[in-house]
C-alpha cells in the first residue's frame, strides 16, 4: 500500500506515527495492526485497556494516537478515552461495530477525535494522522502557515492533507515529531501565551483571556450575532497581533457554545438525566444565537440555568443536553450531582480545601489548590462513572489546563486525572509546579488541556485518589476557574486534573492563571496570568472530526478556551477550559475563592448583557467575596463554563466529581444562577 | 497443472463463499493485507477468528442457559462477536448477530434462540469451507509459486 504520505513531497510525516490500538477482539487487532503497518505507521496492539493505560502513563510520548474499542471487558472505552485525554492529551479515536448514533455522539462528547465503525477500512486509517497534527497545532493558526493551517484547522478538512502536512512538516526534518517541536518553538508570538514552556508540543495559540474574550463578545454584540464576521470583529477588537483566523475560530466556538446553550435550555437536556425543570430552560429554549446575542450573549437565565446545572444544583432546569457525560459529571462531581449530571465543574472544587472555594462553583479549577481536586476528577474520569469517562475525556484535557491556574477548574478532572495528569495542560497555566502530574501543565499547550494545574499540584494531583475527593476540589481552582462559576465546574470536571495542584493555598499562584481549566486543550493557557490569547482550540481533544458534529464544535470552537462549556462534543470538559477563558475565572488571584467563577458570574452578568441581573451572580459573588474576589478577569476568564449542557468539557467527566462539587455547587447554586457560564462575566 | 488445478479449486471455493454471502468485501481487504512480509496473514487471522468466535459462541450458549432472559448480558456477548465477524468479513454470521441483537432489544427469547442456532450453523459452515480453502491453497501454494500470476 502506498504510504499515506501525501503531505508535501519528501515529508515523511505520517510515516512512523506511533499508534496504539486497544481492543479485546484479537481478530480486529490483528487486522488493524496489519493495516496500520501497511499505512507505514508504527502500530502496537493491546488487548487490555488497563494495560494500555499503564503503558501510556509510563511513557506518554510513546504514542501519537490511540485507537480504542468502545466495548471492552476491563474498562469502558469511553473511560479510557477520557483518561487519556485528560492525562495525556493524546488524540483518541474510538471504534466499534456498533454504529448507533448515540454512541457515536457519546464518543465525540467525550473527546474522541474520531469514531470509526468496524470494520475499519484502510482508507479511514490512512487519514488518522490528521488528528494528530490537528491536535498538535491546536489553535495556533497564525504561527503555522496560516494559510494552510487555518484552513485545516478551521475547516477540519480531511482532505487537506497536503496542506496540513506541508505546514506541519514545515521544516520538519523527517519525523513528524520534529515538526511538532518546531511548532512549539513558534510560540513566541506575543499574543500567544506560551505559558508553559514545558510543553514541547506547545503550539502557539492565542489565549483567549477573559479580557480578550470580553472584547470579542463586545464586538460581537455590537455587530449583532448575525452580522458578526471575523473581519469586523477583528477590527472592532483592535487587538494587535490578533489575526482574523484567531477570531474566526473563536467565533466558531462561540457560536457553538451559544447554540449549545440554546439547545440546552430548550430542554434538550434530560436525556442525560439531568432533570431539567426547565423553568429556566424553557426560557432559553429556542434561544438562538440572536436571542442570545441580544441578551448579551448568554441570557442570564440561561446562564443561571446552566450554572445551576453545572453546579448540580437542583435546578434541574438546565438539563444540559448533550452534555450528558461530561457535563453531567461535572455537576455530579461537584458533589451536588443532583442529577448526577450536572456540570459539576466548578463545584467540586469547592470542597477542596479552601473553603473559600467552596463557594466556588464548580469552576474553581483552582487546581493548584485543591489537591483533593484531583481526586475528584478522577472520579469522574477514571471512574467508571460513565459520564466522565466519556465526556470528560475531553475535558480532562482541558482541565489539565486549568489547573495551572487553579483557576481553572480543577474540577472533576483533576481528581481523577491528577494522578496521571500528565494531562498536558493545554494551556492552562498552572504554575507548573503542581503540575507534576500533568505533563504539560505548563503553558497552555494546546494539545493538552490547559488544565494547568498549579504547580503545587504535582503532588496533589496524584494524591487525589480517584475517588475524587470532593474536598479536594481544589479550592483554588475555584477562584481561578470559577469563571463560570458553574461552568467552571465543568471545566473542572474536565480539566480538573491539572489544577489540582493543591498548592496549598497558594492559589494565587494558581489562580493567576485564570486559565482555569479551560477545558482541555484549547484553553490551556489562558491562565498563566497573562491573559494570553490562548486559543486553544483544539485542545479539546475533540478534535477531529466530529462525527457527531459535536466534536467539531466543541473541540474546535470550544477548545478555544471558550469555556463553552462543554465543548459540546467532546464532552470533555475541555470546553471548560475554555470557559475559563471566557474570563470567568479571571484570575482568581485570590484564589480565595478560587472562584473566579464567582467573579465571573459577575462579570458575566455584565457581559451578558443587561438582560437580567444575574442574581445568582450576586449571591455568587458574595461567596466570592469571601473567596477573595476573584481577580480581575483578565486572566483567562475561564469561561469554563462550558456549556453545561453541552458536554462539559470533556475532561471533566464531571460526574464523578460529585463530591467536591457539592459544596461548591451549593454555594453556587444558592447564589443563584451563575450566569456566567460562558465566562463572559469574567470581567468583573 | 496439478497445482493450478488446486488453485483453481481454491479460487472457485472462495468465489462461492462470496457469492453466497458468507464473505464480503472486508475479506478482500484482509486479503490485501497479505504480502511478502506476512505471507500467511489471511490464514492466521482466520484461525484467530475461529478461535475467538468459537469461544464466544460457547460462552453465549452457556449464558443463554444460565441466565435466562438476561438480554443485556446476551447482547454484550453478541456485540463482541459481531465486531469480530465484521473485522474479517464474515457477513452471514454478522447478519445473524444483528438479528440476535434485535431480538434482545425486543426481549424476544425465541427470536434470540432462533438467531443463535442459525449463527452456530453459519459459523460451522464458514469454518469448514475456509479450512478447505486454505488447505487447497497450501497444497497449491509451494508449487504454485512459480506459476502464480501475481508476484
CB contact under 8 A, A27 and B44: no
Contacts of A31 in chain B (CB under 8 A): 30, 33, 45, 87-88
In a domain, B121, yes or no: yes
The mean per-residue pLDDT over the stretch A7-17 comes to 62
Which pLDDT tens digit goes with each residue over A373-415?
334 434 443 333 434 334 343 444 443 433 344 444 444 443 3
CA distance B34 to chain A (A): 8
CA distance A26 to chain B (A): 7
CB contact under 8 A, A31 and B30: yes
CB contact under 8 A, B86 and A119: yes
CB contact under 8 A, A38 and B88: no
CB contact under 8 A, A25 and B30: no
Across-strand partners of A98? none
CB contact under 8 A, B79 and A35: no
In a domain, B146, yes or no: no
- Is residue A364 within 8 A of residue A370, CB to CB? The reply is yes
- Is pLDDT above 50 for A1? no
CA distance B82 to chain A (A): 7
CA distance B1 to chain A (A): 32
Interface mutation vs chain B, best among A27, A69, A94, A122, most B CBs within 10 Å: A27
Q: What is the DSSP letter of B147?
A: H
The mean per-residue pLDDT over the stretch A412-432 comes to 40
Which pLDDT tens digit goes with each residue over A71-110?
888 888 888 888 888 777 788 999 998 888 888 888 888 8
- Is pLDDT above 60 for A461? no
- Is pLDDT above 60 for A434? no
Contact status of A22 with chain B (Cβ, < 8 Å): no
Nearest to A530 by CA among A286, A300, A192: A192
In a domain, B67, yes or no: yes
Across the beta sheet with A18-22, the strand order is A42-46, A18-22, A65-69, A92-96, A114-117
Burial class (CB in 10 A: 0-12, 13-18, 19+), A328: buried
In a domain, B147, yes or no: no
In a domain, B36, yes or no: no
The mean per-residue pLDDT over the stretch A548-573 comes to 39
**B66 backbone dihedrals φ, ψ, rounded to 5°:** -80, -30
What does chain B come to in residues? Answer: 151
pLDDT higher at A242 or B28: B28
Q: Residue A37's closest chain B neighbor by CA?
A: B33
- Is pLDDT above 70 for A525? no
The mean per-residue pLDDT over the stretch A117-133 comes to 86
- Is pLDDT above 90 for A29? yes
Number of domains in chain B: 1
Which pLDDT tens digit goes with each residue over B94-142?
999 999 999 999 999 999 999 999 999 999 999 999 999 999 988 887 6
CA distance A115 to chain B (A): 15
Query: Which residues are within 8 A (CB) of A123 and not within 5 positions of it... i.e. 6 or more apart?
Result: none
Nearest to A653 by CA among A433, A449, A434, A351: A449
Question: pLDDT band at A602, cuts 50/70/90?
Answer: very low
pLDDT of residue A538: 40
Chain B interface with A: residues with Cβ < 8 Å: 26, 29-30, 32-33, 35, 37-38, 41, 44-45, 48-49, 51-53, 76, 79-80, 82-84, 86-89
Q: Residue B81's closest chain A neighbor by CA?
A: A25
Q: How many Å apart are CA A112 and CA A134, to the nearest integer?
A: 13
The mean per-residue pLDDT over the stretch B8-19 comes to 92
- Is pLDDT above 50 for B29? yes
pLDDT higher at A79 or A164: A79
Q: What is the CA radius of gyration of chain A?
A: 20
Q: Which domains, and CATH codes, for chain A?
A: 14-139 (3.40.50.2300), 207-265 (1.10.10.60)
Element (H, E) at A21: strand A18-22
Say which range, A629-633, B61-65, B113-117, has the weakest mean pLDDT.
Answer: A629-633
Contact status of A122 with chain B (Cβ, < 8 Å): yes
pLDDT of residue B1: 54
Q: Which of A25, A32, A69 sits opposite B52 (nearest CB)?
A: A25
Instruction: Report the predicted TM-score, pTM, of the whole model to 2 decimal places.
Output: 0.42
pLDDT higher at A61 or A382: A61
Q: Which of A25, A34, A121 sits opposite B80 (nearest CB)?
A: A25
Contact status of A119 with chain B (Cβ, < 8 Å): yes
- Is residue A566 within 8 A of residue A260, CB to CB? The reply is yes
- Is residue A455 within 8 A of residue A472, CB to CB? The reply is no
**How would DSSP label each residue in A253-309?**
HHHHHHHHHHHIIIII--TTS-----HHHHHHTT--HHHHHHTTSS-HHHHHHHHHH
pLDDT of residue A205: 63
Q: How many Å apart are CA A150 and CA A246, to the nearest integer?
A: 9
Contacts of B26 in chain A (CB under 8 A): 119
The mean per-residue pLDDT over the stretch A580-584 comes to 39
Contact status of A175 with chain B (Cβ, < 8 Å): no
Q: What torsion, rounded to 10 degrees, do the Cα atoms A567, A570, A573, A574 define?
A: -80
Highest-confidence range of A23-27, A223-227, B3-7, by mean pLDDT? Answer: A23-27
Contacts of A41 in chain B (CB under 8 A): none
pLDDT of residue A57: 87
Helix, strand, coil abundance in chain A, percent, nearest 5: 50, 5, 45
Query: What is the b/e burial string over A379-411, where b = at least 16 CB atoms within 10 angstroms of the residue's CB?
Result: bbbbbbbbbbbbbbbbbbbbbbbbbbbbbbbbb
pLDDT of residue A502: 38
Contact status of A69 with chain B (Cβ, < 8 Å): yes
- Is residue A561 within 8 A of residue A385, CB to CB? The reply is no
Contacts of B83 in chain A (CB under 8 A): 23, 25, 28, 69, 71, 96-97, 118
**How would DSSP label each residue in B48-96?**
HHHHHHHHHHHHHHHHHHHSTT-HHHHHHHHHHHHHHHHHHTBHHHHHH
pLDDT of residue A622: 39
- Is residue B148 within 8 A of residue B10, CB to CB? The reply is no
Q: Report the percentage of chain A scoring pLDDT > 90.
A: 5
Question: pLDDT band at A11, cuts 50/70/90?
Answer: low
In a domain, B145, yes or no: no
Q: Which of A37, A71, A118 sits opposite B87 (nearest CB)?
A: A118
Which pLDDT tens digit goes with each residue over A153-163?
444 444 444 44
- Is residue A535 within 8 A of residue A518, CB to CB? The reply is no
pLDDT of residue B15: 93
Beta-carbon pairs below 8 A across chains A and B:
65
CB contact under 8 A, B52 and A119: no
Q: Which of B33, B37, B84 sits opposite A28 (nearest CB)?
A: B84
Query: Which residues are within 8 A (CB) of A377 and not within 5 positions of it... i.e. 6 or more apart?
Result: A86, A333, A348, A388, A392, A396, A399, A410, A411, A412, A413, A414, A415, A416, A417, A418, A464, A468, A492, A493, A494, A495, A496, A497, A500, A651, A652, A653, A656, A657
The CA distances from residue A411 to A20, A384, B17, in Å, are 28, 16, 55
CB contact under 8 A, B49 and A27: yes
Contacts of B55 in chain A (CB under 8 A): none
Across-strand partners of A582? A637
Residue in this structure with the C-alpha cell 450531582, named with its chain if needed: A337
pLDDT of residue A106: 87
Residue B109: give the domain boundaries: 3-30+41-140
Contact status of A186 with chain B (Cβ, < 8 Å): no
Burial class (CB in 10 A: 0-12, 13-18, 19+), A3: middle
Q: What is the DSSP letter of A368?
A: T
pLDDT higher at B32 or A600: B32
Helix runs in A299-344, H state only: 300-311, 324-333
In a domain, B151, yes or no: no
Q: Which of A28, A30, A34 sits opposite B83 (nearest CB)?
A: A28
Q: How many helices (H) and strands (E) does chain B have?
A: 6, 0
Q: How many Å apart are CA A385 and CA A71, to the nearest integer?
A: 15
Question: pLDDT band at A575, cuts 50/70/90?
Answer: very low
CB contact under 8 A, B29 and A30: no
Q: Is 0.85 exceeded by the ipTM?
A: yes
Q: Which of B41, B87, B89 sits opposite A25 (nearest CB)?
A: B87
pLDDT of residue B142: 61
In a domain, B23, yes or no: yes
Give the CATH number, domain containing residue B98: 1.20.120.160
Nearest to A486 by CA among A296, A666, A284, A278: A666
Q: How many Å apart are CA A381 and CA A472, to the nearest integer?
A: 15
pLDDT of residue A375: 40
Contact status of A100 with chain B (Cβ, < 8 Å): no
CA distance A83 to chain B (A): 23
The mean per-residue pLDDT over the stretch A582-593 comes to 39
- Is residue A205 within 8 A of residue A189, CB to CB? The reply is no
Contacts of B93 in chain A (CB under 8 A): none
CB interface of A with B, residues 26-45, below 8 Å:
26-28, 30-32, 34-35, 37-38
Interface mutation vs chain B, best among A21, A22, A29, A30, most B CBs within 10 Å: A30
Instruction: Report the mean per-residue pLDDT for chain A.
Output: 53
CB contact under 8 A, B86 and A97: yes
Amino acid at each position: 500500500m502506498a504510504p499515506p504520505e501525501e503531505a508535501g513531497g519528501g515529508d515523511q510525516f505520517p510515516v512512523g506515527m506511533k499508534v496504539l490500538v486497544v481492543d479485546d477482539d484479537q481478530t480486529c487487532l490483528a487486522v488493524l495492526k496489519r493495516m496500520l503497518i501497511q499505512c507505514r505507521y508504527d502500530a502496537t496492539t493491546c488487548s487490555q485497556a488497563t494495560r494500555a493505560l499503564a503503558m501510556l502513563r509510563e511513557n506518554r510520548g510513546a504514542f501519537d494516537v490511540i485507537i480504542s474499542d468502545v466495548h471492552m471487558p476491563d474498562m469502558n472505552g469511553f473511560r479510557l478515552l477520557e483518561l487519556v485525554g485528560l492525562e495525556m492529551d493524546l488524540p483518541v479515536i474510538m471504534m466499534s461495530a456498533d454504529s448507533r448514533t448515540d454512541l457515536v455522539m457519546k464518543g465525540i462528547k467525550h473527546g474522541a477525535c474520531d469514531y470509526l465503525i468496524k470494520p475499519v477500512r484502510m482508507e479511514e486509517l490512512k487519514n488518522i494522522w490528521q488528528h494528530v497534527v490537528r491536535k498538535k497545532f491546536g489553535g495556533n493558526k497564525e504561527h503555522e502557515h496560516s494559510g494552510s493551517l487555518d484552513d485545516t484547522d478551521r475547516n477540519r478538512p480531511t482532505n487537506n492533507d497536503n496542506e496540513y502536512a506541508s505546514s506541519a512538516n514545515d521544516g520538519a526534518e523527517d519525523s513528524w515529531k520534529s515538526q511538532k517541536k518546531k511548532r512549539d518553538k513558534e510560540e513566541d508570538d506575543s499574543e500567544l501565551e506560551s505559558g508553559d514552556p514545558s510543553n514541547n508540543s506547545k503550539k502557539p495559540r492565542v489565549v483567549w483571556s477573559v479580557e480578550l474574550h470580553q472584547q470579542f463578545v463586545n464586538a460581537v454584540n455590537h455587530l449583532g450575532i448575525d452580522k458578526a464576521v471575523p473581519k469586523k470583529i477583528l477590527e472592532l477588537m483592535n487587538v494587535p497581533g490578533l489575526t482574523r483566523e484567531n477570531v474566526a475560530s473563536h467565533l466558531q466556538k462561540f457560536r457553538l457554545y451559544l447554540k449549545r446553550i440554546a439547545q440546552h435550555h430548550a430542554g434538550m437536556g434530560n436525556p442525560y438525566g439531568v432533570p431539567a425543570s426547565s423553568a429556566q430552560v424553557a426560557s432559553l429554549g429556542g434561544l438562538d444565537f440572536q436571542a442570545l446575542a441580544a441578551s448579551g450573549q448568554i441570557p442570564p437565565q440561561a446562564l443561571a440555568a446552566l450554572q445551576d446545572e453545572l453546579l448540580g444544583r437542583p435546578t434541574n432546569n438546565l438539563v444540559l443536553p448533550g452534555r450528558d457525560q461530561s457535563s453531567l459529571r461535572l455537576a455530579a462531581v461537584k458533589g451536588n450531582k443532583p442529577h448526577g449530571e450536572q456540570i459539576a465543574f466548578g463545584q467540586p472544587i469547592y470542597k477542596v480545601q479552601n473553603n473559600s472555594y467552596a463557594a466556588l462553583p464548580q469552576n474553581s479549577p483552582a487546581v493548584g489548590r485543591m489537591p483533593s481536586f484531583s481526586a475528584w476528577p478522577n472520579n469522574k474520569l477514571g471512574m467508571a462513572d460513565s459520564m466522565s469517562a466519556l465526556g470528560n475525556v475531553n475535558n480532562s484535557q482541558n482541565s489539565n489546563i486549568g489547573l495551572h491556574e487553579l483557576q481553572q477548574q480543577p474540577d472533576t478532572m483533576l481528581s481523577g486525572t491528577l494522578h496521571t495528569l500528565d494531562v498536558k495542560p493545554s494551556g492552562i497555566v498552572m504554575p507548573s509546579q503542581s503540575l507534576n502530574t500533568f505533563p504539560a501543565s505548563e503553558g497552555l499547550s494546546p494539545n493538552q488541556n490547559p488544565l494547568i494545574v498549579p504547580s503545587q499540584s504535582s503532588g496533589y494531583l496524584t494524591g487525589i485518589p480517584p475517588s475524587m475527593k470532593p474536598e479536594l476540589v481544589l479550592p483554588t481552582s475555584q477562584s481561578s476557574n470559577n469563571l463560570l462559576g458553574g461552568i467552571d465546574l465543568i471545566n473542572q470536571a474536565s480539566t480538573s486534573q491539572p489544577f489540582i495542584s493543591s498548592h496549598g493555598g497558594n492559589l494565587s499562584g494558581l489562580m493567576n492563571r485564570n486559565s482555569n481549566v479551560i477545558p482541555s486543550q484549547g484553553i490551556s493557557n489562558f491562565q498563566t496570568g497573562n491573559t494570553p490569547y490562548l486559543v486553544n482550540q483544539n485542545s479539546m481533544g475533540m478534535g477531529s472530526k466530529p462525527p457527531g458534529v459535536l466534536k467539531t464544535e466543541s473541540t474546535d470552537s470550544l477548545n478555544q478556551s471558550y469555556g463553552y462549556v462543554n465543548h459540546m462534543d467532546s464532552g470533555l470538559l475541555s470546553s471548560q477550559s475554555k470557559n475559563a477563558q471566557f474570563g470567568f475565572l479571571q484570575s482568581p488571584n485570590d484564589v480565595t475563592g478560587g472562584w473566579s467563577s464567582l467573579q465571573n458570574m459577575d462579570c458575566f452578568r455584565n457581559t451578558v448583557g443587561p438582560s437580567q441581573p444575574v442574581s445568582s451572580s450576586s449571591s455568587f459573588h458574595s461567596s466570592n467575596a469571601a473567596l477573595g474576589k476573584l481577580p480581575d478577569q483578565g486572566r483567562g476568564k475561564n469561561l469554563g463554563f462550558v456549556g453545561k449542557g453541552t458536554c462539559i468539557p470533556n475532561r471533566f467527566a464531571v460526574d464523578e466529581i460529585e463530591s467536591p462539587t457539592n459544596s461548591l455547587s451549593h454555594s453556587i447554586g444558592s447564589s443563584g444562577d451563575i450566569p456566567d457560564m460562558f465566562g463572559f462575566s469574567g470581567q468583573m | 497443472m496439478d497445482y493450478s488445478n488446486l488453485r483453481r479449486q481454491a479460487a472457485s471455493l472462495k468465489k462461492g463463499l462470496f457469492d453466497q454471502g458468507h464473505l464480503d468485501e472486508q475479506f478482500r481487504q484482509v486479503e490485501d493485507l497479505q504480502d511478502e512480509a506476512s505471507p500467511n496473514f489471511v490464514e492466521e487471522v482466520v484461525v484467530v477468528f475461529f478461535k475467538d468466535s468459537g469461544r464466544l459462541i460457547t460462552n453465549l450458549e452457556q449464558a443463554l442457559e444460565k441466565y435466562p432472559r438476561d438480554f443485556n448480558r446476551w447482547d454484550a456477548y453478541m456485540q463482541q462477536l459481531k465486531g469480530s465477524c465484521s473485522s474479517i468479513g464474515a457477513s452471514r454470521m454478522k447478519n445473524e448477530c444483528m438479528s440476535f441483537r434485535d431480538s434482545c432489544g425486543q426481549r424476544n427469547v425465541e427470536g434470540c434462540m432462533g438467531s443463535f442456532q442459525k449463527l452456530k450453523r453459519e459459523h460451522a459452515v464458514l469454518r469448514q469451507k475456509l479450512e478447505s480453502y486454505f488447505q487447497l491453497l497450501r497444497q497449491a501454494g509451494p508449487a504454485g509459486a512459480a506459476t502464480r500470476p501475481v508476484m
